[in-house]
Structure 1
């Protein structure tokens, strides 16, 4: 059964490689024909048959998704939604945010084959709610509905993939009318119950910095966790401690088993009615179900519960199932119930952990040496997370092994049980519950202290250049090395692991020049990297609370191990160009700040009087169009010209017609790549400017479905008439411009290089 499960999983991973509905249909037909051929020829290789069934299942679900779900919202539109709130609403960034389970869209009921979850934002730039939204309430909304879409940048979180893997069909923002409706259903009652539990716990949990961590451990609600707490969790590789998944379900199951088994054995009458071990198994299952319900039926928790159901069900019925068979059956069940599970990072983390634990636990280790067994499990878990961490995050936290060895026992056997006990006691005695919660608070203070000390050992995670083939070889060697000692010699295998790690860290030959135009939303941020220095042109939108650079620019620079920016150019003072300056300066060292107009709270050099400079073969020059600082705002933008091996690139900021005319009068020449002035506004990119620059490539930095309608179609047509290849960040993702050592220029995009069926 284990091989059936692994083969089925391997077939389902085709989700990652299918990039269109047509390709899915082709694969569906080919795999079905192959399966029929194997059946007729009586080909019985179980791994291959399971692989074919996995291909069939994944391609079939992509076709169904494209026809029944994607077709519902193909482009932004105004719609009327009815349904109920199916998550606990949270107030962030001046808006209420929650998941909404839609029943109808524009009065049309949704198909049973379609998904129905919508990520809703309500409050900012809209009518404020007349009453506080709560989970389980039925509402009718007038919304702006948008298909699944997000910014796409190198080394950044793939929000699109997360939405697809979690069953969302769209995102929405409430615009005008919203009315509370009468209605109820079994699912809405469940969410109302979770809301009441959340409100009850808010009243009894201590008002301390650890309060968000307690809510995360009890209910899986992580929205209140501060950025500094998230950073500490990520640096130490302990974020999984707060995700209600296999660990938490296992804790509840284990403690329920121990407690009921201990008490049941004390009663001879109860033991005659039902053996203690069977009663304990039932209690174990009940404890696990309660945790899954408290978590809001999250997918990671559901996967862990399914595995537990199979294990306990087999024991209760007397059916013998080996650990490997249980894993195989659970895999098949998970993938049938949740076909898009392989797209979720949490699936691979939990599956990898369960698989490694199963192999290590079955090794020939003396049961008396429990400390060595515990260290061995954690060591192999850490090694197993290396390829998974590289594949999804492209980083390894070297302190993760130390932090998890110390904190998993603390969380499993002290903090989480105390929180569960406190939660149950709060029903009967809030005072006693508060005392228990205070004890848990002290344990979380200790947890935070351990995290901060271990993080100091490795303040910067290590990033790698890798490819999927090397990662697969690494994982196979890792699994083989975990088999019993008598099976094979370990020294060649560990040597192989070391060689692969060294190979992974071997730096690739960098291009002579590389420029990224980030998919920053409605704004601009461009990073230029050369062998002798780096430059950041603009920082994207931001304010005192949040900056888009935190989720786009900074993750990429961290991945590339760039800690210092030699020149930081702020074209002008608008928030969509200068708003992220504080976030950048807080995260990176900056040698020189250059700007087109004075910046609040920061000293800078005036770009209109800045002399040209050169890094190797790369020449930089600010074109002078505002020498007397007569213009403010858009026309004061720094216009940067970059020349590399005869190729010319122009970064003009937000200049408009008058500044463009000044540049034309000064003899502006043709360019290979031009960043479209002012995001493609009608006030810029005049016919004469386009004619004089005649770019081979023009790049528009714009936000998806932005309120100004940038880039304007008339401006795009102007560049097309000049035979320019048009790139748009919200359509193509981040744009990369490279000039290699041989001197060739290449422009590419993230969506072009990483196609998927949902894009």
Structure 2
């Protein structure tokens, strides 16, 4: 049976790694094969096919529930019920709408909406809303968070912006939202949002700085409900019943073990309901239930049996759970503990067990974190030694008890005040450590390097004295210092990152790196911090020789300060240094300057008669073995005419669309003078400026120019000097991504 369970797990996982899903008809035919195999003892293959069919059909149903492409960008009146815990703050209300209906069109069952300057929205209310609808999407960059996979795993079929609306009915059965409002209203020494995260699993109120501290110290799992909290409460209840039985205080007529297991599971289930019973919570409850069942009846089967059953059960309940990083991290952490402690001969002292568990989990999860593209906390093992008992034993009991006793206001509020103070003390300590040891974002490594590093982690988890165990350290260190791919002389490696409505282009030669613009900063979104800097680290860029900010507009220079804080930069230059905001200092663009790095030639130009920041854009030409790329910033048609009278008026193969393809740029004179083969457009999907303008794209098509659009293709990678087609990230096979449009648009 264990073989069958492993085969089922393999079948449940396999479809999410496919570039495309099998046809629905083929999946429905698989039960016939399953029934034919069972009488011939072919149950492992039957389980494999059943798991493959189950996940494949679940993925098809989720894809079919996405917004039809014909409604993309349309505004429709929809009616639905608000679910979850809406996020009210910062001038925008974000919430999820379930059971959405429209009079004329079929809509996804679940949508995630944003209402700028909207009224308060509460869970359980019914609304009629005018919504501009979009298919789930987002920025697509190398080895970065995939918003489309996340939306599919959450069963979010559409996103949108609310234009107007009216409340149809008041909240019903919104007791969790009521508890949150009570938690946010009490005096918790300024840590009300952290209490809501700990008690209800609602982390929306935590400040970005708090999230960064938790990430740097590896303690995110402590402040948002995780399997650890649910398992801890279940263990406390189980231990309490066992202790009463041992001391003779438990009623003899009630068998203590079944009661201990039942009460522990009831506690875990109650906490899960308080947390909204989301997928991570359901996963934890399933694991607790199976562990208790194993303790009650099946201890003879070993520790791996409940883990394997929980793995299969979670995927049967939610076939797309494996698209969530938390799924892999939680099961990997439990697997590391079982592997480490399950086969040990002789007990350890309690303090040895605790300290070694933290270090071994850190070692075991390191390859998993890197495979998921997540940062690794260098201080996490040490911090968790103290933070875990602090939260679990000191913070969580008064927080939960205070929440339960909120009807008895003086007692409940006093307990929450105490819990808030304990959380504040925790954050102060974590902030000091995070300032010294921030999280480490590793460079992307080849598959064989990762496999050797994972083997090293497994070797280090083995007991002392096992042959070849010391070899684990050099193998694991390969993940930190991987072999670097060298560039040939005269070749430039170019990445246009997907930063939304802005621009950021990385140009690397064999020994040098240049960043042209740093992405936008708008409101609380800083593309330099959230997109550009992580991408540079994953591409193993350790320093920049030049940060060239074309001009001062926020969509080009907004992320510059975050890049300067995160990486050593030798020189900063801008076409409009006087207009830079946020304390940025830069040299003026040295128009006419030319230099060479590793056989690649760079040339700068700026219009000396410019009268606004866009026209002052510092233009950069990169020439690698005769293959040229021209980065133009936001110059307009007047600056383009001046450019055609400069030394940069040479035919180019790649042209960065001036001003994101606006109507006032990309003149016919420029296109005829430079004769580009391809144009690179960096812009945000559905941006309010209408970029690129239809007349401009028609002009590109008329000239037979290939169009690469970041909103439709994602980040773009090319090797300048090789005269090869570019690689666009949306071409990577993922069944949840819409295929990119063809780049060639010849008339």
TM-score by length of 1: 0.88
Is contact 2:610–2:639 with CA below 8 Å preserved after alignment? no
- Is 1:243 the counterpart of 2:224? The answer is yes
Q: Structure 1 residues 155, 441: CA separation in 2 closer, same or farther (over 3 Å shift)?
A: same
Q: What does residue range 349-368 of structure 1 map to in structure 2 within 5 Å?
A: 349-367=329-347
Specify every segment of 5 or more residues in structure 1 that has no aligned partner in the other structure, as ranges: none
Mean CA deviation greater in 277-286 or 580-589: 580-589
Question: Residues 670 and 91 (structure 1 numbering): CA distance in 2 closer, same or farther, change over 3 Å?
Answer: same
- Contact 1:394/1:464, CA 8 A, preserved across alignment: no
CA distances 1:286-305 after superposition (whole Å, capped 9, x unpaired):
22122212211121111110
Structure 1 position 305 matched with structure 2 position 285: yes
Residue 214 of structure 2 is matched in structure 1 by 233
Q: Does 1:118 align with 2:97?
A: no
Corresponding position of 2:471: 495
- 5+ residue gaps in structure 2? 739-747
Name the structure 1 match of 2:745.
Answer: none
CA contact (8 A) 1:15 1:343 kept: no
Q: Does 1:519 align with 2:498?
A: yes
In the other structure, the counterpart of 1:83 is 80
Decide which moves more: 52-61 or 650-659. 52-61
Q: What's 1:102 paired with? A: 99
Q: Contact 2:183–2:192 at 8 Å: present in 1 too?
A: no
Deviation track 1:557-607 (CA, whole Å, cap 9, x = no partner) reads 233454543322222233322333343344344443322233145443332
Query: 1:365–1:373: 8 Å Cα contact kept in structure 2?
Result: no
C-alpha separation in 1, matches of 2:125 and 2:70: 24
Change (3 A) 1:541 1:454: closer
Report the CA distance shift for 1:744/1:563 in structure 2 as closer, same or farther (over 3 A): same
Distance in structure 2 (CA, Å) of the matches to 1:503 and 1:69: 38
8 Å Cα contact 1:481-1:490 kept in structure 2: no
Quickly say closer, same or farther: Cα 1:539–1:27, change in 2 above 3 A. Answer: farther
CA offset digits 1:185-215 (Å, max 9, x no partner): xxx51xx10011111112224232x433222
Change over 3 Å in CA distance of 1:77–1:12 after alignment to 2: farther
Q: Output the CA distance in 2 between the equivalents of 1:469 and 1:116.
A: 42
Partner of 2:575: 596
Residues 457 and 472 in structure 2, CA contact (< 8 A), matched pair in contact too: no
SS state at 2:123 partner: coil
Cα displacement (A) at 1:170: 1.1
2:47 aligned residue? 50
Q: Partners of 1:569 and 1:479 in 2: how far apart?
A: 44
Pair 1:180-2:167 in alignment: yes
Q: CA deviation at 1:349?
A: 0.6
Cα deviation, residue 496, structure 1:
4.8
Residue 612, structure 1, aligned to residue 594, structure 2: yes
Alignment map for 1:458-469 (pairs within 5 Å): 458-459=437-438, 461=440, 463-468=442-447
2:321 counterpart of 1:333: no
- Equivalent residues in 2 for 1:714-725, closer than 5 Å: 714-725=695-706
Give the structure 2 partner of residue 144 of structure 1.
Answer: 132
Name the counterpart of 1:207.
189
- Aligned mate of 2:60, from 57, 63, 82: 63
Q: In the alignment, which residue of structure 1 is the partner of 2:18?
A: 18
| Deviation for aligned residue 1:653 | 1.3
Aligned position for 1:4: 4
Any conservation in 1 of the 2:602–2:621 contact (CA below 8 Å)?
yes
Q: Are residue 571 (structure 1) and residue 571 (structure 2) matched? A: no
Shift of 1:83: 1.6
Partner of 1:555: 534
CA contact (8 A) 1:465 1:508 kept: no
- Aligned-pair CA distance for 1:172: 1.3
* Structure 1 residue aligned with 2:178: 196
Q: How many corresponding residue pairs?
A: 731
Equivalent in 642, 666, 669 of residue 622 of structure 2: 642
> Which of 335, 340, 350 is residue 370 of structure 1 equivalent to?
350
- 2:148 paired residue number: 160
Q: Is residue 581 from structure 1 mapped to residue 580 from structure 2 by the alignment?
A: no
- CA deviations on 1:163-199 (whole Å, 9 max, x unpaired) are 11122111111012x1111377xxx51xx10011111
State yes or no: 1:631 paired with 2:611. yes
Offset of residue 674 of structure 1: 0.7
Residue 220 of structure 1: which of 184, 201, 220 is its match?
201
CA distance in 1, matches of 2:574, 2:683: 22
Q: 1:539 aligns with which of 518, 529, 549?
A: 518
- CA change 1:482–1:570 in 2 (3 A) is closer
Structure 2 match to 1:728: 709
Shift of the 510–416 alpha-carbon distance from structure 1 to 2, 3 Å rule, reads farther
- Is the contact between residue 232 and residue 452 of structure 1 (CA under 8 Å) also seen in structure 2? yes
1:2–1:324 CA contact under 8 A, matched in 2 = no
Over 3 Å counting, the alpha-carbon distance change for 1:721 and 1:108 in structure 2 is closer
Preserved contact between residue 454 and residue 476 of structure 2 (Cα < 8 Å): no
SS at structure 1 position matched to 2:131 = strand
- Note if contact 1:402-1:454 (Cα within 8 Å) is conserved in structure 2: no
Q: Taking structure 1 as reference, are residues 32 and 714 closer, same or farther at Cα in structure 2, changes over 3 Å only?
A: farther
Q: Matched residues in 1 for 2:215 and 2:640: separation?
A: 46
Q: Report how far residue 728 of structure 1 moved.
A: 0.4
Say what the alpha-carbon RMSD is for the aligned residues: 3.2
Equivalent-residue separation in structure 2 for 1:241 and 1:276 (angstroms): 31
The answer to which of 89-98 and 459-468 deviates more is: 459-468
Q: Distance in 1 between matches of 2:196 and 2:529?
A: 25
The answer to whether the 8 A contact 1:149-1:160 is kept is yes
Partner of 2:264: 284
Task: Provide the rounded CA distance (Å) in 1 between the counterparts of 2:698 and 2:423.
Answer: 59
Contact 2:294/2:306 (8 A) holds in 1: no
The answer to whether residue 743 in structure 2 is matched with residue 756 in structure 1 is no
455-464 or 343-352, which deviates more: 455-464
Could you tell me the TM-score, scaled by structure 2's length?
Answer: 0.89
1:435-486 alpha-carbon deviations (Å, 9 max, x no partner): 433443443344335434544663461514434455456556756875788x
